[in-house]
């Protein structure tokens, strides 16, 4: 099987945590490193969470701490603790990990990994795209080594989740997103149009909890906060796992309706953070416009059982 090199750029974050476990379970992914960015919590909390997950599950990946402010240097005033908890992982009270982040920054790692690799590298970005924009700015030569940026973010035909127009990852750093869109690097955008179509029900969550041993226990622990948030919005059964759905889109594009065209991001005015997509055959951006939720749940479940399942006789 062909394995391809991937950098995971993330702001863990509850759905980020699930995506990291899923990536570890994907045999075709050769994960080069985890780069962290501020977003769901402060950069220190997001980095600590990535290290915690790696330590708890024995994941052998380096963690590179990245941006704590936006591409233009703006600080965050309000982290979304009502979604992800004050610590970013649902305020379960996990003990601090003993592992430390690597000595170089996320942007420097992206530059170094791209330059040193003989094959093109893919980046899965499931937070603000600040680190990638910085890497492209300090080393424009690496753009030719990036096969594609797959990103969770944006909304095209549905409303945003921060404003009517803007989704959280894009709203948090629109200039970084537009910097990526303006580069020649191919992008696959997996935004709310697709991720809201793949939701996990409470019954499905219970199956994971029963079958996946410590990984199941961990997902159950962190999801309690998330479930409460969705219940407060009137959604009592089912929650999206945005970042894990974007990871699935890399490997199973046929389970999505994907259109080609050109992406830009609005950086000023009421629509700041809005992703604008102009469909055009042959455009070097792709957008997932919908997703087959039932099939994706089957894929997710099968991969997670194969990696973390406690009963090997049980197939899904
Ligand atoms: C995105 O924002 C973050 O809260 C999630 O981790 C996800 O990446 C969804 O809008
Ligand atoms: Ca995220």
Comparing C-alpha atoms, which of 77, 290, 71 is closest to residue 189? 290
- Over residues 284-303, the pLDDT tens digits come to 999 999 999 999 999 999 99
Q: Is the pLDDT of residue 312 over 80?
A: no
Active site residue 242: yes
Question: Probe ligand 1: pick from 8, 12, 13, max atoms within 8 Å of CB?
Answer: 13
Classify residue 247: in a domain, yes or no.
Answer: yes
Phi, psi of 163 (to 5 degrees): -125, 175
Instruction: Select which of 242, 281, 284, 285 is catalytic.
Output: 242
Residue 80 binned pLDDT confidence (cut-offs 50, 70, 90): confident
Classify residue 155: in a domain, yes or no.
Answer: yes
Q: Is the pLDDT of residue 193 over 70?
A: yes
Classify residue 315: in a domain, yes or no.
Answer: no
Classify residue 313: in a domain, yes or no.
Answer: no
Q: How far is the CA of 59 from the centre of ligand 1 (A)?
A: 22
- Which domain, by its residues, includes 250? 4-308
Residue 313 binned pLDDT confidence (cut-offs 50, 70, 90): low
Share of residues in the chain with pLDDT > 70 (%): 97
Comparing C-alpha atoms, which of 274, 19, 285, 17 is closest to residue 167? 274
Average pLDDT estimate for 182-203: 96
Looking at the CA of residue 13, tell me the nearest atom of ligand 1.
Answer: 6
Classify residue 185: in a domain, yes or no.
Answer: yes
Classify residue 314: in a domain, yes or no.
Answer: no
Residue 77 binned pLDDT confidence (cut-offs 50, 70, 90): confident
Provide the domain count of the chain: 1
Given this model, what pLDDT does residue 256 score?
98
Q: How far is the CA of 168 from the centre of ligand 1 (A)?
A: 6
User: Two tokens at 41?
Assistant: 């919590």
Q: How far is the CA of 9 from the centre of ligand 2 (A)?
A: 9
Judged by its nearest atom, the ligand closest to the C-alpha of residue 83 is 1
Q: How far is the CA of 151 from the centre of ligand 2 (A)?
A: 10
Cα 302 to chain centroid distance, Å, stands at 20
User: Does pTM surpass 0.85?
Assistant: yes
Question: Can you give the CATH number for the domain in which 187 is found?
Answer: 3.90.245.10
Classify residue 44: in a domain, yes or no.
Answer: yes
User: Two tokens at 29?
Assistant: 């992914």
Handedness of CA 12, 55, 95, 229 (dihedral sign): positive
Q: Which residues line ligand 1 (CB under 6 A)?
A: 13, 15-16, 40, 80, 83, 126-127, 152, 161, 167-169, 242-243
- Side-chain half-sphere of 196: how many Cα atoms within 13 Å? 16
- Over residues 5-61, the pLDDT tens digits come to 999 999 999 999 999 999 999 999 999 999 999 999 999 999 999 999 999 999 999
Classify residue 289: in a domain, yes or no.
Answer: yes
């Amino acid at each position: 099987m062909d394995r391809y090199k991937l950098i995971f750029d993330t702001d863990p974050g509850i759905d980020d945590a699930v995506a990291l476990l899923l990536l570890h379970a994907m045999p075709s992914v050769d994960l080069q490193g985890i780069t962290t960015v501020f977003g769901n919590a402060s950069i220190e909390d997001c980095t600590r969470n990535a290290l915690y997950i790696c330590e708890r599950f024995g994941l052998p990946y380096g963690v590179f701490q990245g941006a704590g402010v936006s591409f233009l240097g703006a600080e965050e005033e309000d982290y979304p603790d009502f979604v992800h908890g004050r610590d970013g992982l649902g305020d379960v009270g996990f003990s601090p990990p003993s592992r430390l982040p690597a000595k170089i920054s996320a942007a420097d790692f992206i530059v170094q990994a791209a330059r040193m690799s003989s094959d093109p590298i893919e980046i899965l970005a499931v937070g603000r795209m600040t680190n990638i924009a910085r890497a492209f700015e300090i080393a424009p030569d690496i753009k030719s080594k990036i096969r594609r940026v797959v990103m969770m973010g944006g909304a095209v035909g549905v409303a945003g989740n921060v404003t009517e127009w803007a989704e959280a990852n894009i709203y948090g750093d629109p200039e970084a997103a537009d910097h990526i869109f303006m580069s020649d690097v191919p992008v696959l955008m997996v935004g709310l149009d697709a991720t809201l179509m793949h939701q996990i029900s409470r019954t499905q969550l219970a199956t994971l909890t029963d079958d996946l041993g410590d990984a199941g226990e961990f997902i159950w622990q962190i999801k309690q906060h998330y479930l409460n948030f969705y219940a407060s919005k009137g959604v009592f059964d089912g929650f999206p796992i945005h970042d894990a759905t974007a990871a699935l889109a890399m490997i199973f594009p046929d389970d999505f309706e994907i259109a080609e065209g050109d992406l830009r991001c609005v950086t000023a005015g009421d629509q700041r953070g809005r992703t604008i997509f102009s469909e055009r055959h042959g455009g070097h951006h792709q957008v997932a416009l919908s997703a087959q939720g039932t099939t994706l749940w089957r894929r997710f479940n099968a991969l997670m059982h194969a990696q973390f399942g406690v009963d090997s006789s049980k197939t899904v």
